[in-house]
Chains A and B, each alone.
Chain A
Amino acid sequence: MKKILLIIPAYNEEQNILKTYESITNYNAKFHSKYDVLVINDGSRDNTEKILTDHNIPHIRLIQNLGIGGAVQTGYIYALRNGYDVAVQFDGDGQHDVNYVKTIVDPILNGKADMVIGSRFINKDMDNFKSSQVRRLGIRLLSRVIAFKTKKKIYDTTSGFRAVNRDIMEFFAQHYPTEYPEPISTVEVLSRHMTVLELPVKMKAREHGKSSITLVKSIYYMINVIFSILIMKKVK
Chain B
Amino acid sequence: MSIKLIISLIVFSLFWFFLILHFVRKKKISVRYSLFWLFSAFLILMVGLFPGILNGINRLFGFEVVSNLVVGMLITILMLITFILTIIVTKQKEQIRVLVQEVSLLESERKND
Q: Name A's B-contacting residues (CB within 8 A).
A: 59-64, 66, 70, 73-74, 77-78, 81, 178
Contact = CB atoms under 8 A, between A and B. Distances in A.
Contact of B100 (A59, A66, A78, A81): A66
Nearest to A43: B100
Interface in B91-113: 93, 96-97, 100-101, 103-105, 107-108
A51 B97 CA distance: 25
A60 B104 contact: yes
B97 A63 contact: no
A61 B107 contact: yes
B108 A64 contact: no
A77 B107 contact: no
Contacts of B107: 60-61, 63
Contacts of A62: 100-101, 104
Dominant secondary structure at the B interface: helix
Interface of B: 93, 96-97, 100-101, 103-105, 107-108
A70 B108 contact: no
Nearest to A178: B97
Nearest to A65: B100
B94 to A, nearest CB: 9
Q: Across chains A and B, which 3 residue pairs bring their CB atoms closest together, nearest first?
A: A60-B108, A62-B104, A64-B100
A70 B97 contact: yes
Contacts of B97: 66, 70, 178
A77 B6 CA distance: 59
Most B-side CB within 10 Å, residue of A59, A63, A73, A81? A63
